[in-house]
Amino acid sequence: MEKEKVITDWFYQYSDEIYNFFIYRLGTADVDDFVQEVFIRAMTGFEHFQQNSSPKTWLYSIAKNITIDEIRRRNRKKWKSIIPFQAQHEPKMTETPEQLLHMNEENKELYHAILSLKSGYREVLILRGINLFTVTETAEILGWSENKVRSTYHRSKKALKKKLGGNLHE
């Protein structure tokens, strides 16, 4: 019963942040399912959690792996839809007008600019700039060195600023 209580506590502490991580990484489709999957995997892999890292970084590592799996799945779907002999037409993964109305114009521009960055830039920017993880925590989540996190974060901010036409407030 202890494991369930710990995971439940983590859910209440970190689910909103993980939800936002998925929004920025994958868009708005199926985000609730992805968040649920993080905590299901945490529950099943709880014995493998090493207390030398924080639960937050461990959960974000799980979220990062789910993101990688989902991107691969979407890429496979995309290639399957390109093959001419298959009659599979899948709906595009785009926001609905109702969802877009909830974002103000500046946030929409920032959101789309972040989504247009390459994967590594996007990940480090979300973790460091939006979720405010430390360099050490970000390195642990991404499996990178701290120096790589610092340099990639710096480059990603420059790339984002360029995409926004220099309108990024630091």
Shared domain check, 90 and 102? no
Contact 56, 137 (CB under 8 A): yes
The pTM assigned to this predicted structure is 0.58
When divided into structural domains, the chain yields a total of: 2
> 88: domain CATH number?
1.10.1740.10
The one-digit pLDDT tens for each residue of the chain (170 residues) are 688 888 899 999 999 999 999 988 888 888 999 999 999 999 988 887 877 778 999 999 999 999 988 888 887 776 555 444 444 444 445 555 555 455 566 677 777 888 888 988 988 988 888 888 889 989 988 899 999 999 999 999 899 888 887 655 54
Read off the tokens for 75: 């890429």
Shared domain check, 116 and 79? no
* Boundary of a domain, candidates 67, 94, 121: 94
Shared domain check, 143 and 131? yes
- Sign of the Cα torsion 92, 114, 20, 6 reads positive
What is the C-alpha end-to-end distance of the chain, expressed in Å?
45
